[in-house]
Structure 1
Amino acid sequence: MNNRTIKMELLPTLAPVYGGGLIVAFLPEDYVLPENIRAFAIFKGSKQRQLTEARVSVEDNAFHAVIPDHEPPEEVEVSVYIQLPSGEGDTIASERFTYYLDQTCYLARYLAASVHKLESLEDWDYIQGPNFSLEQEDFSTLDERLTSAFQHLILPLDWNLLGDHDELIPRETLFHFAARLGLSTFVTLLLEKNGAQECLALRNRHNELAESIARERGFEGLADLITDPHAHGVIRWESKEQIGPTTVLKQHSFGTISTSSHPYLDTWPPIEKEIEALTATSLPPSSSLPLRYNMNSTWDEALEESPSSRTQSMFHSESYDSEFASPDSLF
């Protein structure tokens, strides 16, 4: 294959560190793609590299993929690697892409730290204020974004929904918070955490259970989930499998699979091994991406839903060095 790497156009050009949006990579119009290929998007940063399979769109000379999560927030290189039916493969195009911290990231970190401070979730003036702009939130997507952002956090192994408090003191818990906003997907993630069962039984200072708050606000399905999680077949938000010394295979709840790797002694694991793991785990992408990224929607809709449609002032490269930079600073 030709070893020349060409420039491509990315849409969008930036995303929050928890990923999850749609990215489209456009090749030059005069570039002729080989037939019957499989394609992979590679996101390579300073400390982490992700691979995920992309759908080939011959009519647009483009590739469609779901953006994986990444740390730290930084500019990375996105490359497209194609594999021929013979198994031969090569990187054909690359472009720069930016991961940033958005207000959903900061909200997730505030919520994770709140378990150690009993009054944190009662301060709705602060939660709705400029730090998180909850009053201006798009609640149609908040549940999924917040769940992804919380899943992305590197929490201590002993992190517990009850925090450091052994006594079951009445308080506003993360389940109460989720019940007020109807965050059912977020609840499925919380149900996996240490202290979930005890936390579900906690009443707040107004003697309310999370379940009763959900029903009062009309979230009957969420109330039923909180009342009896096991009866509703709650599944894991994300599963991980170690496939190499520094490489993990991740399967996401919305149907995509990716690998995440780190360099060892300044050497990255062979890309071919990760591609082999991806192709062994999944069939080639069909003509449509998973339901939440169905390409029957227009490009305008994809753009409207992408993080790049938000103001770029939310991206601050120095944020990674802030008080939220590490799990230790949260607790």
Structure 2
Amino acid sequence: MGAQTGARSRAHRRFPPDARSGDLSKATWLCLLSMLPETNQDEVQPNAPVALVTVEIRHPTTDSLTESANRELKHLLINDLPIERQAQDVSWGMTAPGGAPTPVADRFVRYVNRDNTTAASLKNQAIVVETTAYRSFEAFTDVVMRVVDARAQVSSIVGLERIGLRFVLEIRVPAGVDGRITWSNWIDEQLLGPQRFTPGGLVLTEWQGAAVYRELQPGKSLIVRYGPGMGQALDPNYHLRRITPAQTGPFFLLDIDSFWTPSGGSIPEYNRDALVSTFQDLYGPAQVVFQEMITSRLKDELLRQ
């Protein structure tokens, strides 16, 4: 997420054979329901359309954890994320002027649950927690804070440089009798691009837009990427397992990246309560923008249940 948290995307879910045209499946509305206010979060199930939820906490560079610190960290996370894996991010660095770029690997430890649906990556400059089995914001925040608490216990977090919360959502609805999806029934028309243009009889099948929202002063920002796609939002080789079968059909992507950066170039000290409060502050705009980008018909389908 440049302003991004996590990885980029493609994903899906099949509707039951008896799904009526224009109706959402139960699994779909349960997950979308979790983004609406005043609903029973305990009833939300880990199915599409929430493909991935990620929290990234960037901090000043620290030394790699020692072997003893890694052992202690593994012990602290044993109940939630018992599997330890070595991982790396690869970027391209420049050598001398005119020289060819060379790959630079940033190695780190990643802890994963037994279902391979939730992971915590402990990097030199960031803590990243992500899940493909999202149930509710509260439950996910609990996992994130257990990881942060463990990390702070073995090695101090000296400051906060960026906090990001990202939702990658796939909205899948039944096609009409002609096999096409009328997205304007489900998605606000302001997001639907030049769909009425049919040059030479061609049908518009894919486009992607981006909307950027910021506070007047540095602080909270929100970036939403949106547009229809085919297949799935996550790379098929992504390191976490999708909890729904792979699909090849159409979906509408809402990639919501809500993040905070400190003002004035300062690096505030790490404070647990302030971090939890910031998570809540970031979730609010993400929830609101989701509600504003879907139609009343889609909301009715969610709340009717």
What is the TM-score normalised by the length of structure 1?
A: 0.23
- Larger relative contact order (Cα-Cα within 8 Å, sequence gap ≥ 6): 2
Structure with the bigger percentage of strand: 2
Structure with the bigger percentage of helix: 1
